[in-house]
Amino acid sequence: MRRKIIAGNWKMNGNRDLVRQVAERAADSDAGAELAICPPFPLLPTAASQLPFGVALGAQDVSEYEAGAYTGEVSAAMLLEAGCRYVIVGHSERRTLYGEDNGRVAGKFVAAKQAGLTPILCVGETLAERDAERTEAVVGEQLDAVCEAAGAQAFRGAVVAYEPVWAIGTGRTATPEQAQEVHAFIRQRVAERDGSEVAEQLPVLYGGSMKPGNAAELLGQPDIDGGLIGGASLDPDSFLSIYKAAAEG
């Protein structure tokens, strides 16, 4: 049985007050699922000191380099020291707005793993790619790039998030069947490259307009192991209600 993970991706939102609100509400999170938040870098120390034990912390991005003259970058070791367990790599906003290609994303994935962080690798297709029936080709390439860079059993100790680009922040969610189909494909692709044991243990989260009203149905699919929540994670009540759906499901 894979334990479900509900992770909030705050993007460039939030403040110390939101950290405090989530920390208060999360006090009654139980062992049924894992709860995590990924706030912007400056809020990591506040979150690390305020979150109740058992609630995990993650960052939204990481440098592929270890240290040096990379103005504006943050290394994986720094994130670990700041109390992070997770780091999101390859979010579609990083890929499209900041030009991160598969090679760079794979470098970040490797840097995170080497430092002892758990990378949450985001993959997903655009609407044009889905309409052209290229979903599996695109997601397959995104996974393969990481396998090539990270070597054998690349996905051991990692998390994948399937985030169809057309569903992010649009209010348009993939149907549970559409999501399940791609999640099953991801697990199969990882099984081919890393072996079935790694694939069976790999948490594959869904992201893209997940909210209290659709969470239970999505999380009820056999290969959906949690959610990466954007908009709804900024409202503590909505976020915790998605968490409850995961913990009780």
Catalytic center residues: 91, 163
Torsion, CA 185, CA 168, CA 89, CA 242, rounded to 10:
-80
Which long-range contacts does 197-204 make (Cβ < 8 Å, 24+ apart)?
198/153, 198/155, 198/156, 199/155, 201/2, 201/156, 202/2, 202/155, 202/158, 202/159, 202/160, 203/2, 203/3, 203/4, 203/5, 203/159, 203/160, 204/159, 204/160, 204/161, 204/162
Residue closer to ligand PGA (CB basis): 203 or 230: 230
The whole-angstrom distance between residue 45's C-alpha and the CA centroid of its chain comes to: 20
Q: Which stretch binds ligand PGA (CB under 6 A): 76-84, 139-147, 195-203, 227-235?
A: 227-235
Which residue type, as a one-letter code, is found at position 102?
Answer: N
160 belongs to the binding site for ligand PGA (CB under 6 A):
no
* Stretch binding ligand PGA (CB under 6 A), from 39-47, 59-67, 146-154, 201-209: 201-209
* Of the residues 103, 169, 213, 220, which one makes contact with ligand PGA according to CB under 6 A: 169
Q: How far is the CB of 209 from ligand PGA (least distance, A)?
A: 4
List the one residue out of 236, 184, 246 whose CA is nearest residue 215.
Answer: 246
Least Å distance between CB 91 and ligand PGA?
A: 6
Residue nearest to ligand PGA (CB): 230
Among 39, 107, 164, 207, binds ligand PGA (CB under 6 A): 207
Question: By CB under 6 A, which span of 26-34, 54-62, 228-236, 238-246 interacts with ligand PGA?
Answer: 228-236
Instruction: Name the residues that contact ligand PGA, by CB under 6 A.
Output: 9, 163, 168-169, 207-210, 228-232
